[in-house]
A = this chain, B = another copy of it.
Amino acid sequence: MLLIVLELIGLAVFAASGALAAVRARLDLFGVVVLGLTTALGGGILRDVLLGIHPPTSLTTWTYLVVPVGAALGVFGFHPQVAKLRRAVLLADAVGLGLFTVSGTATALNTGVPAYTACLIGMTAGIGGGALRDLLLREIPLVLRREIYALAALAGAVVVVVGTRTGWPAALVAVVGATIVSAVRLVALWRQWNAPVAKGLER
């Protein structure tokens, strides 16, 4: 139950980040809603396409549609206020990243794929929505450039695999995995940790 609520919060936050980017790119109302939906559902759709789950779960669960659409409409109406909530958005985005990575990794493990495959698919589920958002807006995906983003997802996916294989209860695995992703991401933001850039190309 808690997990469902957290997952819906993650969907809302990802939708809001997509909608905010779309508003800034001057897309119209419908474009804002479509981009919000794509950002919220994109990671899960990629996960299901790779795993062969047809049609993707995100497209067959109506709450997965209503929540992101509502969040996108809210951003459209109140974008100056939302833009001011920068810290809250980053916090929520980190929580969403953790939740989607954990649920993606667990879903993949359930289909019986090898451990490292589950990690890769879980990571894709966590960062895929944001990558699609940036692609559609013609940006080099932030997830490839920003401080410790995909790496945080990878760390959480590894925890989920190890925890599941060593027999922890599923709920504990989920909570610990998601917490680790969010914590790594938030600490990286706070301390401005960055992965290194190649020699001779530092700014």
Contacts and interface: CB of A to CB of B under 8 A. Distances in A.
Contacts of A140: 25, 27, 136-138
A157 interface: no
Copies of this chain per assembly: 3
Interface string A115-158: 01100110000000001000111111100110010110000000
A29 B196 contact: yes
Interface string A31-55: 1101100000000010001111011
A65 B34 contact: no
A122 to B, nearest CB: 12
B196 A28 contact: yes
A197 interface: yes
A5 interface: no
For the complex of A and B, list the 3 residue pairs with the smallest distance between their C-beta atoms, beginning with the closest.
A52-B54, A31-B144, A28-B195
24 contacts: A23-B201, A25-B140, A26-B197, A27-B144, A27-B145, A27-B197, A29-B195, A29-B198, A30-B151, A30-B195, A31-B150, A35-B144, A45-B50, A50-B54, A50-B56, A59-B113, A59-B117, A65-B116, A76-B198, A77-B198, A79-B198, A136-B144, A137-B140, A138-B139
